[in-house]
Amino acid sequence: MRLRGNVAIDLGTVNTLVWVAGRGLVLEEPSAIAIDTSAGSVAAVGSAADALADKEPQDIEVLHPLRDGVIADLDATAAMLHAFLRRARRHNGPLRPNALVCVPSGATDVERRSVLAALSVRRPRYNVRLIDEPVAAAAGAGFDLGSGSGGFIVDIGGGTTEVAVVAGWRVARAVSLRKAGNSMDEAIIALARNELGLILSQRAARELKMTLGLNSGDPSQTQRVETVGIDAATRTPRAERVSGWLVAAAIEPVVSAIAEQVLEILSAIPAGLAEDVVRGKIRLAGGGALLPGLPERIEKVAGIGTVVADDPLRCVVRGAAEILERKQTPGPGPRLLFLRCVFLRAKATLARGRLGATPGIAAPLGRQPARRSLSLADYSSGWRAIAAGSRPASSQPPMTDIAGKPTRMSR
């Protein structure tokens, strides 16, 4: 029987993944929540909510409460996250469950506290620990961090790109770039409107990106993919065959920024990690790792072999689960510290009760004799004194306190 349910959470801008101890990956849903504005209640979460995005149904507002890898709407995130955890049907043990949540390495203290708050405002509450995404991604990508070896990881998600060198469950060098998959989608939408007069949804732009990628940067190539959008002039639906060079031109600035950060981190790594990086290669994780042509581009720029990690979409949550099972999270949580203090205090109280008091000998500091418990006669004698119109001497206030003007009660 498990006394405490352990949960690993990859809280991403596009997708949220939940791993439960003893059961594995139990949930993989879009990070979306639909609000019924007329009733003020949650209409749907996850895939059901994301299916309504950009369709504008009446009285339904679809929110993506995370932006650039961090929480932008705390209430919506808390509602969505607890709905996911209820759906995951975590094992309910007698102790408060542990939750290991992945956050971007560049997240500020305020952004990190918002993650803690999202799992604390509703029941069941969790003992929350945070782990930097590059560490979890490196563990999930197959680097043997337990032996102290290092590795180079590039985690390209929806809101952020994490470029880092990791060694021994810690980040050695890292940069968090707030340009990733969503930035590419927005660039494709903007260029399609300017060049083709076509208004695309984010879902359509994402499909073009993952189909064409960087492999069709030559305008002479005729590779085209059909998509459907809104004609900017007539405001009516229109089908259009989009060429690969347009998609490649749109996402080129974001890809160039990622490649520059890879070079910057490579130029700053310690000498002791150089061999680990070269032999272990650069490993790509996250949904952006599946972009056609990206591994070849980074390998050409960096001059080091670049490979895509196994199952890159689940790489971060897989690494977080491994860390949680190995209990590599540093330091006890606040609830464990509180329980430890309570235990030590109870142990000291029990020791004082066993020691008692020896006549004529003062008890040592911290081992004072226990107070004598009042008997029934003590209570009855005091009650008779109050009933007779007087109060026991121990309860009579000094005359200086009751003479003159009344004084304010001390708090």
Q: Which of 257, 275, 309 finishes a domain?
A: 309
Taking the C-alpha atoms of 220, 224, 228 and 230 in order, what is their torsion angle to the nearest 10 degrees?
0
pLDDT > 60? residue 135: yes
221/304 same-domain check = yes
Return the CATH number at 199.
3.90.640.10
DSSP 58: T
Q: Is residue 270 a part of any domain in this protein?
A: yes
Q: Is residue 67 a part of any domain in this protein?
A: yes
Return the CATH number at 129.
3.30.420.40
191/279 same-domain check = yes
Of 75-79, 108-112, 356-360, the poorest mean pLDDT is in 356-360
- Identify the H or E element spanning 100: strand 98-103
pLDDT > 90? residue 359: no
301/321 same-domain check = no
Bridging pattern class, strands 170-177 and 161-167: antiparallel
23/110 same-domain check = yes
Closest CA to 103 of 139, 64, 65, 136: 136
Residue with tokens 């004529």: 360
Q: Which of 309, 324, 358 finishes a domain?
A: 309
Q: Is residue 294 a part of any domain in this protein?
A: yes
Query: Measured between alpha carbons, how far is 33 from 12 in angstroms, rounded to an integer?
Result: 14
90/187 same-domain check = no
131/181 same-domain check = no
The residue-averaged pLDDT of 69-82 equals: 92
Q: Is residue 411 a part of any domain in this protein?
A: no
* Contact by Cβ (8 Å): 65, 33: yes
Q: What percentage of the chain reaches a pLDDT higher than 70?
A: 76
18/59 same-domain check = yes
Q: Is residue 125 a part of any domain in this protein?
A: yes
Q: Which of 299, 333, 367 finishes a domain?
A: 333
Q: Is residue 273 a part of any domain in this protein?
A: yes
Write the pLDDT tens digit of every residue in 289-323.
999 999 999 999 999 999 999 999 999 999 999 99
3-state secondary structure of 67: strand
Q: Is residue 212 a part of any domain in this protein?
A: yes
Q: Is residue 284 a part of any domain in this protein?
A: yes
Strand partners, 176: 162
Listing from the earlier edge strand, what are the strands of the sheet with 224-231?
Answer: 198-199, 224-231, 237-243
31/133 same-domain check = yes
DSSP 271: G
60/100 same-domain check = yes
* Contact by Cβ (8 Å): 228, 201: no
Write the pLDDT tens digit of every residue in 378-407.
434 444 444 445 444 444 444 444 444 444
113/181 same-domain check = no
- Identify the H or E element spanning 311: none
299/227 same-domain check = yes
304/318 same-domain check = no
pLDDT > 50? residue 368: no
* Contact by Cβ (8 Å): 133, 316: yes
- Residue type (1 letter), 116: L
The token duo for 72 is: 């932008």
Domain that holds residue 232: 177-309
For residue 16, the Cα-to-chain-centroid distance in whole angstroms is 9
What's the structural domain count of the chain?
2
Strand segments, DSSP code E, in 117-258 are: 127-132, 150-156, 161-167, 170-177, 198-199, 224-231, 237-243
